[in-house]
Amino acid sequence: MPPTHAFHLAFPVRDLESTRAFYGGLLGCREGRSADRWVDFDFHGHQLSAHLLPAACRSIEAHEVDGDDVPVRHFGLVLPWAEWHALRDRLRSAGVRFRIEPHVRFQGKPGEQATLFLDDPSGNVLEFKSFQDPARVFAR
């Protein structure tokens, strides 16, 4: 069942076959409605809509965050600590090439978090992060 306030994100992709393999196969997102030029995925209760528009897939600008070159345009999830580690291990076992390797950022600071970044087949960047104490997500 989706959360009462789920987000919806529409984004461009180069092709639907590799998109289905990435979001459905690798990430385990259940496929929702689809048509010839788009497909929806259940992203932990949130709706992702991948739209076929190869011309809109482009390189990503980045800037430095705690020593990493973080893509400015990205999306993802904040997962519970154990789920983040299970995902990290599953992605490593699958041979995924990370844009930014899994690690803990902001160590010893209020925003300390486990994080990893990867690209989908169309160059869209996803970040998965976790906090040992979920109350620290918005800590200053």
Could you report the per-residue pLDDT of 20-32, keeping only the tens digit for each?
999 999 999 999 9
Same-fold call for 8-54 versus 62-136: yes
Whether 72 and 58 have beta carbons less than 8 Å apart is answered as no
pLDDT-derived band at 134 (thresholds 50, 70, 90) equals confident
Its sign, for the CA torsion 33, 41, 4, 125, is negative
69 vs 1 pLDDT, higher one: 69
Structural fold of domain 8-54: 2,3-Dihydroxybiphenyl 1,2-Dioxygenase; domain 1 (3.10.180)
Give the domain ranges of the chain: 8-54, 62-136
The pair of structure tokens assigned to 136 is 């620290």
The pLDDT value given to residue 3: 61
The pLDDT value given to residue 124: 96
pTM: 0.91
Residue 74 three-state SS? coil
The pLDDT value given to residue 1: 57
For the 62-136 domain, the top CATH level (class) is alpha beta
